[in-house]
Amino acid sequence: MSGSAGSAPRVGVLSLQGDVREHAQVLTQLGAEVTLVRRASELAAVDGLVLPGGESTVIDKLSRSFGLQAPLREAIAAGLPVLGTCAGLILLADRLADGIAGQETFGGIDATVRRNAFGGQVESFEADLDVAIFEPPTVRAAFIRAPVIEEVGSSATALAALPDGRVVAAEQGNLLAMAFHPESTGETRFHRRFLDRVSSRV
């Protein structure tokens, strides 16, 4: 791994499609050195990776045409810290419901994620969530054509749920993922947790 004790964590944002800039801004503001990752050589040079929100079907297809799917799966299996939001959560799920034909994920989190779980009138909404791993205040969460975590397997841990009980954030080892967009509401605690993982692994 690159990086050395005391230097800024070197993290990447997967930059195939989606809200790359918002994540890069939050990470830079938190003191990280940010690289935009589009190829395997760039992935190999970072100590942690963010999978942004966007469109998981497009990110999946582009990751395969850019030769990134296999290196990403290997990096995840080797323990690379990864933060995934929305489409990023979908890409980190071991099992996918309501994917398009042929859609694949990178996997890593033992969970079933359903795409576009809030159809019709509530495609986008905000909610305040209790997240057990954080001190108050609650997390202001923006859901945009969001998925839900329909089933959490025994290797993963649910971190947050909507008032109706549907799980919207989970973690497993160095992987942390949520159905909402902390990067768009000024919520930095998930990114801090991710950067802590990166620093302790480097």
Nearer to ligand GLN, 54 or 81 (CB): 54
By CB under 6 A, residue 116 contacts ligand GLN: yes
Contact between 55 and ligand GLN (CB under 6 A)? yes
Segments in 3-149 forming alpha helices (H): 20-29, 40-44, 56-65, 69-77, 87-92
Do the beta carbons of residue 18 and residue 60 sit within 8 Å? no
User: Residue 115, interface with ligand GLN (CB under 6 A)?
Assistant: yes
Please list, residue by residue across 166-183, b when 16 or more beta carbons sit within 10 angstroms of its beta carbon and e when fewer do: ebbbbbbebbbbbbbbbb
Element containing residue 199 per DSSP (H, E): helix 189-201
Q: Which residue's CB is nearer to ligand GLN, number 3 or number 176?
A: 176
Q: How far apart are CA 29 and CA 44, in angstroms?
A: 23
CA angle 33, 35, 36 (to 5 degrees): 150
Residue 90 in the binding site for ligand GLN (CB under 6 A): yes
Number of residues engaging ligand GLN in binding (CB under 6 A): 11
Residue 145 touches ligand GLN, criterion: CB under 6 A: yes
Of 12, 54, 108, 182, which one interacts with ligand GLN (CB under 6 A)? Answer: 54
CA-wise closest residue to 12 among 82, 90, 77:
82
Stretch that binds ligand GLN, among 2-10, 47-55, 75-83, 157-165 (CB under 6 A): 47-55
H/E run at residue 140: strand 139-144
83 forms part of the interface with ligand GLN (CB under 6 A):
no
144 interacts with ligand GLN by CB under 6 A: yes
The one catalytic residue in 22, 23, 171, 181 is 181
Residues of this chain that bind ligand GLN (CB under 6 A): 53-56, 86-87, 90, 115-116, 144-145
Q: Active-site residue numbers?
A: 86, 181, 183
